[in-house]
């Protein structure tokens, strides 16, 4: 390593500059940084909004026949008192309805979710003995934002003239659900709307009294018919197995229609005599999904639809999963078309996340370009090139560290980058400006160029370090902002300080290194070098 | 450069000019801060975000049927179908739409009754659309509510936008606590009435059951047991007859779910003629139970029909009975309508209640003048998040000030110089506030001072402290190393450091230019741009004056 002889650096800035000035590994390091940054950008999970860890859950205790006031007194109040014993609970919401008591528990934002869920479950289980008579087993459902919020929803509907029925459509969507659930990292899937197949036995009250029957008898008769029994293992005399089983008596709707419910005046009464028995859909279900979509200029009529919703595992990439889902749907298209079924993507968070990320990335690139152009005017194109190089290097380091610490790329992370852009070119600008000033100073001719580089970097080291430290200090308290908003903007205090430290290191290592190779002393009194070009006098640019 | 140097030199030379600079700076500071209470600059947590989707929640009165809810939904869809920018609409009847961030806190996942519906509206891409989604919601709100809410008396339609930041229950939530449910409900209706009269608030909803009548069948246990029947049988048969039940399942080989065998009375014989008590009695007379002896007994013989008020669902928060009254802010910051509404509450309800303020900020305590019953009114929702966030960010800001001050004291080992730097950083607030005012005047919509503006301001402190730092360092070096006199050294330092200060400032301004156009980070962009401009002016003119007047800046050439 070639040392600068006369100048002894005092600050870490100068020391870094001197160490890396002639190190052959410096360009390798630079390329390496850019590569890991790019890789991080590609493999980090993308989301639109940062994940907010919300811990909490819902406890549902059904108690048939109880009035709201009873539920409040014997279920909600005791349960709430018990929940109050758990540490870290912020709010408890109790809802006492007829037949059911619900208690929602919200932990303070930022509480460890796994532990909080476990505590909640524990507390309920420990106090099962306090449950009043007549109350049913409590249900404990923890919130899980990651899997509860679907990233893709697809609406399936029958096109006009479709041959299949509503129940067939539901069957089809169930099948699609099973297929899409196979995709890696797809977690919770659910279906909204649609009609399940059901045998409807609609009893005519008038006929019932005509035959002198009660509803109870009919229910008894149906229950007796619909029995499933396991196979029976019979044995032969010589110890071999003979397996036989009773066939389910209900094979088709006919079997139900021809069920004998009673005898009347010696002749059998079939179920079909007193009720309309049809194979149809669940008529008692009032939950429906309707949709209308644009078809050219006009909208289609409001028609029934079935919504399939797909969630993802925490920390997985919404963009990749959404793309894969779309690919699978494409493959299914011919089959759907044949059956006269249309589908429409009604939510695509993958695309939204990708759009948001790409938009911000392009903003970052444009901003870098604008700053580069500005620097050409004020400092010269070589200096501008050097500063411009430092930006991707700094962002690469920051991205890589964000990746290591398990963050995702989202609106707020990128926003932290945008915010730091204006700040992180500063270190490089200050270094390059000082180098520039020294190169154009009167005594520059007599000095070794290496020495100038190291000295110029070292000189502004101390105030720049302090100033950068000051900016970092302003960011630190932001990490302690509480509540949802604090969680939401967490990427800012997490990433901006990292970017600022990286900007210092990069400015001290690469700016002198690149300066040594790109910048030359301006042509002055002596003709040391014939290849010196005329430099534009940048002094005129400012003020 | 030379001209700027002599400009600074000149100011430092005259005591009057120095005081002029200090006076002008303080006036600017006072003037800009006055823009907040005079509402020239409005504060809000986060501005609206243009999204490609929004939702509409329909709450019909608690005793509405799904058919009635559907009719309201169809009315809304009919209006939406006239919009050219809408691509598709999904209606979820009797249930919540697939969960999203807004729905998560608004209890969309718990919706499970015939009087609820949610509508998801998808729009064309926001880049190809001129009207931002929040303007569209603002425009459609009166149309939809005006046309569809009257279809069923007591219906509330809520327009729900995608939150720009963390989701909240509603923009304005008034939690009304008390002991007696009926009294809480009465008070919440009064509060809701005041909200309705308050400009800027929309979609007012009382989150409680609407009162309705129901028939209670009182079983006559004497008659029941003498007929050889049980109350349980009566209950079961009533449920079976009118609601229906899956009495047995059938497993199927080629069907993914079990097939249920569902029993209910046929539509013709099930439906009542009308909703009167007589109609119910007639129906119950024809519904019969069979006792052990094989005799059929009509249900109407076994029960007595009484009309009562349905017991409402009871809500509690933190072990106290409570009812929420929610409202959305229609395109405005929720802070100001809330303050208006609060004033009206204190004014209009003061006849019946004795109103005092309580612990946290705007909360109220109402004491009934006659009965002495005490109610608490607490604000929650976006308002509370806003207050908490601004409070926390304010604390973060003060913490940052202290940390920088300590850092500077360590570096300079002098309180006065550290104080000068700090004063310089704080003054960038002039730029931040004025910048927001200018942005508000220039842009079409209201430009709010938001949480992101505050973040920008905090970041600015660091930036402007660096300007002062480099300036002081340079002037100190000139005095110590080259033996310049104070006035000269400060003037030269200002002129020399002007270039890097301007350069970094321009870098920040250009770097934030794109941010300023973003709906959410716009506040930060504007704060950075205008704050930087102020910081440059302050550090090049005001700071030199302070430096000159400070004794701590008297450095001598080291021999």
DSSP state of A440: T
How far does A522 lie from chain B, in Å, by closest CA? 20
- Structure tokens given for A21: 């000035």
Instruction: Calculate the average pLDDT of chain B.
Output: 85
**Position A306 pLDDT exceeds 90:** yes
* Beta strands at B259-265 and A298-299: parallel, antiparallel or unpaired: unpaired
CA B65 to chain centre: 31
Closest residue to A474, CB basis, from B4, B316, B461: B461
- Structure tokens given for A457: 């970097």
Average pLDDT over residues A493-517: 85
B117 vs A contacts (CB less than 8 Å)? none
- pLDDT at residue number A429: 79
B252 vs A contacts (CB less than 8 Å)? 197
- pLDDT at residue number B1: 64
Tell me, yes or no, if B316 comes closer than 8 A to chain A by beta carbon.
yes
Side-chain-side CA neighbours of B73 within 13 Å: the count stands at: 33
A202 to B266: CB separation less than 8 angstroms, yes or no: yes
Burial readout A376-397 (b: 16 or more C-beta within 10 A, e: otherwise): bebbbebbbebbbbbbbbbbbb
pLDDT in tens, B33-79: 888 777 777 777 777 777 889 999 999 998 889 999 999 999 999 99
pTM of this structure: 0.84
- pLDDT at residue number B99: 87
- pLDDT at residue number A444: 66
Interface of B with A in 173-202 (CB under 8 A): none
- pLDDT at residue number B361: 66
Tell me, yes or no, if B90 comes closer than 8 A to chain A by beta carbon.
yes
- pLDDT at residue number A536: 43
How many beta-carbon contacts under 8 Å exist across A and B? 404
Best of B66, B179, B316 to mutate (most A CBs within 10 Å, chain A): B316
pLDDT in tens, A119-153: 889 888 888 888 888 888 898 988 776 677 888 99
CB-based contact B321:B179 (threshold 8 Å): yes
B262 to A283: CB separation less than 8 angstroms, yes or no: yes
Average pLDDT over residues A150-170: 88
CB-based contact B204:B192 (threshold 8 Å): yes
- pLDDT at residue number A3: 44
Separation CA B254–CA B312 (nearest Å): 45
CB-based contact A492:B165 (threshold 8 Å): no
| Range of weakest confidence among A186-200, A394-408, B386-400 | B386-400
B94 vs A contacts (CB less than 8 Å)? 286-288
Residue A450's CB is within 10 A of a number of other CB atoms, namely: 19
Separation CA A464–CA A458 (nearest Å): 10
- pLDDT at residue number A92: 92
DSSP calls for B240-261: HHHT-EEEEEE--SS-SSPEEE
- pLDDT at residue number A529: 43
Name A208's Cβ contacts closer than 8 Å, sequence gap at least 6.
A214, A215, A218, A274, B288
- pLDDT at residue number A245: 76
How far does B462 lie from chain A, in Å, by closest CA? 4
A205 to B311: CB separation less than 8 angstroms, yes or no: no
Average pLDDT over residues A146-170: 86
| Range of weakest confidence among A6-15, A358-367, B52-61, B467-476 | A6-15
Separation CA B506–CA B494 (nearest Å): 17
Separation CA A452–CA A456 (nearest Å): 6
Tell me, yes or no, if B67 comes closer than 8 A to chain A by beta carbon.
no
- Of B142, B485, B185, give the one whose Cα is nearest residue B313: B185
Percentage above 70 pLDDT, chain A: 92
ipTM confidence score: 0.82
Does residue B57 or residue A251 have the better pLDDT? B57
Separation CA A493–CA A472 (nearest Å): 9
B99 to A467: CB separation less than 8 angstroms, yes or no: no
Measured at the CA of A94, the angle between CA A90 and CA A100, to 5 degrees, comes to 145
Best of A245, A473, A504, A540 to mutate (most B CBs within 10 Å, chain B): A473
- pLDDT at residue number A522: 65
Tell me, yes or no, if B327 comes closer than 8 A to chain A by beta carbon.
no
- Of A328, A454, A445, give the one whose Cα is nearest residue A10: A454
Q: Which residues of chain B have pLDDT under 70?
A: 1, 252-257, 359-361, 557-559
Q: What is the dihedral of CA B440, B443, B444, B448, to 10 degrees?
A: -40
- pLDDT at residue number B74: 93
Average pLDDT over residues A489-512: 85
Q: 3-state DSSP call for residue A134?
A: coil
- Structure tokens given for A32: 């390496």
Separation CA B174–CA B183 (nearest Å): 15
Alpha helices (H) in A476-537, listed in sequence order:
483-488, 491-518
- pLDDT at residue number A323: 92
**Position A51 pLDDT exceeds 80:** no
Q: 3-state DSSP call for residue B540?
A: helix
- pLDDT at residue number A452: 77
Q: 3-state DSSP call for residue B238?
A: helix
Tell me, yes or no, if B137 comes closer than 8 A to chain A by beta carbon.
no
Name B101's Cβ contacts closer than 8 Å, sequence gap at least 6.
A49, A149, B162, B163, B167
pLDDT in tens, B218-258: 888 888 888 888 888 888 888 888 888 888 887 766 666 67
């Amino acid at each position: 390593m070639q040392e600068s002889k006369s100048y002894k650096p005092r600050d870490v800035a100068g020391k870094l500059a001197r160490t890396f000035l002639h190190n052959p590994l410096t360009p390798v390091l630079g390329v390496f940084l850019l590569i890991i940054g790019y890789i991080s950008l590609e493999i980090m999970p993308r989301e639109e909004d940062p994940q907010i860890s919300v811990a909490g859950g819902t406890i549902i205790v059904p108690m048939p026949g109880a009035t709201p006031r009873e539920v409040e007194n014997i279920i909600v109040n005791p349960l709430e008192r018990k929940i109050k014993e758990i540490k870290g609970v912020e709010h408890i919401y109790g809802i006492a309805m007829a037949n059911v008591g619900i208690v929602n528990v919200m932990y303070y934002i930022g509480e460890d979710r796994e532990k909080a869920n476990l505590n909640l479950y524990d507390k309920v289980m420990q106090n099962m003995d306090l449950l009043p008579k007549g109350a049913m087993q409590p249900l404990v459902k923890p919130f899980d934002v990651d899997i509860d919020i679907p990233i893709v929803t697809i609406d399936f509907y029958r096109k006009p003239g479709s041959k299949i029925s509503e129940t067939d459509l539901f069957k089809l969507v169930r099948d699609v659900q099973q297929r899409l659930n196979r995709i890696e990292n797809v977690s919770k899937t659910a279906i909204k709307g649609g009609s399940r197949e059901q045998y409807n036995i609609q009893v005519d009250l008038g006929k019932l009294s005509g035959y002198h029957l009660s509803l109870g008898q009919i229910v008894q008769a149906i229950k007796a018919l619909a029995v499933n029994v396991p196979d029976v293992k019979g044995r032969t005399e010589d110890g071999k197995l003979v397996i036989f089983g009773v066939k389910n008596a209900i094979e088709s709707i006919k079997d139900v229609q021809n069920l004998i419910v009673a005898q009347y005046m010696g002749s059998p009464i079939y179920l079909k005599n007193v009720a309309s028995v049809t194979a149809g859909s669940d008529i008692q279900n009032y939950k429906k999904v309707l949709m209308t979509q644009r078809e050219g200029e006009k909208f289609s009529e409001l028609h029934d639809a079935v919504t399939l919703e797909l969630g993802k595992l925490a920390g997985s990439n919404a963009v990749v999963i959404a793309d894969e889902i779309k690919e699978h749907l494409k493959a299914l298209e011919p089959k759907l078309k044949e059956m006269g079924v249309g589908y429409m993507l009604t939510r695509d968070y993958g695309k939204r996340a990708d759009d948001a990320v790409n938009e911000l990335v392009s903003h970052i690139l444009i901003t870098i370009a604008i700053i580069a152009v500005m620097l050409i005017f004020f400092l010269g194109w070589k200096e501008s090139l050097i500063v411009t190089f430092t930006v991707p290097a700094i962002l690469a380091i920051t991205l890589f560290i964000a990746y290591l610490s398990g963050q995702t790329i989202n609106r707020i992370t990128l926003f932290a980058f945008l915010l730091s852009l204006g700040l992180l070119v500063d270190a490089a600008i200050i270094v390059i400006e000082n180098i520039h000033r020294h190169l154009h100073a009167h005594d520059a001719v007599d000095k070794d160029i290496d020495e100038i580089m190291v000295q110029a970097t070292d000189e502004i080291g101390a105030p720049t370090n302090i100033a950068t430290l000051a900016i970092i200090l302003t960011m630190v308290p932001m990490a302690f902002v509480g509540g949802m908003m604090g969680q939401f903007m967490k990427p800012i205090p997490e990433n901006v300080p990292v970017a600022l430290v990286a900007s210092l290191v990069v400015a001290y290592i690469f700016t002198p290194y690149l300066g040594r190779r790109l910048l030359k002393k301006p042509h002055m009194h002596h003709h040391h070098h014939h290849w010196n070009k005329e430099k534009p006098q940048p002094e005129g640019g400012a003020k | 450069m030379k001209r700027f140097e002599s400009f600074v030199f000149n100011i430092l030379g005259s005591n009057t000019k120095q005081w002029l600079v200090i006076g002008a700076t303080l006036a600017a500071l006072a003037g800009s801060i006055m823009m907040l209470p005079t509402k020239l600059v409005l504060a809000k947590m986060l501005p609206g975000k243009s999204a490609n989707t929004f939702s509409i929640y329909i709450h019909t009165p608690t005793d509405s049927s799904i058919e009635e809810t559907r009719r309201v939904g169809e009315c809304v869809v009919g209006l939406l179908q006239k919009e050219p920018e809408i691509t598709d609409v999904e209606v979820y009847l009797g249930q919540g739409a697939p969960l999203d961030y807004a729905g998560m806190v608004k209890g969309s996942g718990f919706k499970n009754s015939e009087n609820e519906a949610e509508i998801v509206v998808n729009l064309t891409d926001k880049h190809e659309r001129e009207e931002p989604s929040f303007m569209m919601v603002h425009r459609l709100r009166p149309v939809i509510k005006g046309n569809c809410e009257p279809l069923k008396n007591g219906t509330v339609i809520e327009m729900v936008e995608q939150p720009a930041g963390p989701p909240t229950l509603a923009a304005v939530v008034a939690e009304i606590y008390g002991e007696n449910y009926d009294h809480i409900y009465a008070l919440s209706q009064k509060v809701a009435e005041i909200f309705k009269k308050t400009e800027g608030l929309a979609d007012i909803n009382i989150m409680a059951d609407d009162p309705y009548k129901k028939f209670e069948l009182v079983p006559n246990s004497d008659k029941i047991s003498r007929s050889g029947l049980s109350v349980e049988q009566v209950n079961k048969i009533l449920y079976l007859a009118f609601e229906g039940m899956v009495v047995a399942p059938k497993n199927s080989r080629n069907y993914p779910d079990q097939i249920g065998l569902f029993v209910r009375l046929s539509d013709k014989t099930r439906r009542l003629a009308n909703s009167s008590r007589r109609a119910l009695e007639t129906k119950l007379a024809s519904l019969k139970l069979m006792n052990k002896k094989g005799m059929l007994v009509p249900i109407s013989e076994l029960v007595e029909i009484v009309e009562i008020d349905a017991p409402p669902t009871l809500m509690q928060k933190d072990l106290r009975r409570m009812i929420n009254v929610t409202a959305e802010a229609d395109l405005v910051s929720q802070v100001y309508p809330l303050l208006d509404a609060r004033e009206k509450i204190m004014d209009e309800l003061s006849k019946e209640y004795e109103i005092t303020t309580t612990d946290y900020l705007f909360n109220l305590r109402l004491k009934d003048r006659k009965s002495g019953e005490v109610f608490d009114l607490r604000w929650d929702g976006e308002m509370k998040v806003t207050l908490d966030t601004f409070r926390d960010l304010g604390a973060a800001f003060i913490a940052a000030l202290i940390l920088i001050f300590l850092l500077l004291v360590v570096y300079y080992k002098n309180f006065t110089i550290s104080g000068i730097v700090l004063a310089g950083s704080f003054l960038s607030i002039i730029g931040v506030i004025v910048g927001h005012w200018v942005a508000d005047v220039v842009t079409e919509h209201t430009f709010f001072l938001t949480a992101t503006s505050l973040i920008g301001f905090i970041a600015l402190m660091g930036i402007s402290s660096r300007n002062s730092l480099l300036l002081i360092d340079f002037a100190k070096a000139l005095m110590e190393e080259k033996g310049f006199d104070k006035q000269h050294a400060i003037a030269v330092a200002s002129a020399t450091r002007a270039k890097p200060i301007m350069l970094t400032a321009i870098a920040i301004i250009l770097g934030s230019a794109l941010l300023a156009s973003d709906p959410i980070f716009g506040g930060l962009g504007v704060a950075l741009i205008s704050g930087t401009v102020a910081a440059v002016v302050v550090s090049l003119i005001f700071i030199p004056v302070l430096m000159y007047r400070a004794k701590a800046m008297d450095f001598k050439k080291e021999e």
